[in-house]
């Protein structure tokens, strides 16, 4: 997914919440990637697609978004990211009342996913919640354990075999 597609993905999340959205031009966007409006609310949204990079959202990004929100006369600001947000950025965001929207970055035109407990789940329509199926979890996380030894503070477990009906 390109950064532009990620901005469109974030816009779609807000459209699903009942907002009208404008994805701003890629250059000269004044620090706002998406503007979402509903009734008297105008939200400045900065989209940072850092999930597949070593880059992390820092407090400077939050402070710049706060300035852009004020300059564009928005009532609220949201930072959307599929990456990691540094602790100092979270502290600044809380102080400035900027919401951090964590996304899984899975692009879908019909049902965008929103993840992480920090997200305000009560505002997400039920049709937007996306959970993996049991088969997906089993195939991705359990089957690869075959032949592995798992360790914890109480000892170890040797996983001899894993199939669709049992772990031995």
CATH 3.40.1350.10 in the chain is located at: 3-128
Is-contact 86 59, C-beta < 8 A?
A: yes
The pLDDT assigned to 126 comes to: 42
Q: Which tokens belong to 55?
A: 């880059």
The dotted CATH code for 3-128 is 3.40.1350.10
pLDDT single digits (tens) 54-112: 888 999 999 999 999 999 999 999 999 988 899 999 999 999 999 999 887 554 444 44
What whole-number percentage of the chain has pLDDT above 70?
Answer: 82
Distance CA 53, CA 61 (A): 16
Q: For residue 94, which phi and psi values (nearest 5 degrees)? A: -65, -45
What average pLDDT does the segment 17-33 reach? 86
């Amino acid at each position: 997914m390109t950064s532009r597609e990620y901005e469109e993905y974030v816009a779609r999340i807000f459209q699903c919440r009942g907002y009208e959205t404008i994805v701003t031009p890629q250059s000269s966007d004044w620090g706002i990637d998406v503007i979402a409006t509903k009734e008297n609310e105008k939200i400045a949204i900065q989209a940072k697609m850092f999930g597949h990079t070593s880059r992390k959202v820092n407090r400077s990004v939050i402070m710049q978004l706060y300035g852009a929100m004020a300059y564009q006369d928005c009532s609220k600001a949201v930072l959307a990211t599929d990456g990691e947000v540094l602790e100092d950025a979270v502290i600044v965001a809380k102080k400035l009342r900027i919401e951090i929207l964590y996304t899984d970055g899975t692009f879908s035109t019909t049902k965008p996913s929103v993840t992480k407990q920090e997200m305000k789940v009560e505002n997400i329509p039920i049709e937007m919640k996306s959970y993996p199926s049991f088969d997906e979890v089993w195939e991705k996380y359990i089957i690869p354990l075959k032949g592995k030894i798992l360790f914890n503070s109480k000892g170890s477990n040797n996983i001899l075999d894993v199939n669709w009906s049992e772990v031995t």
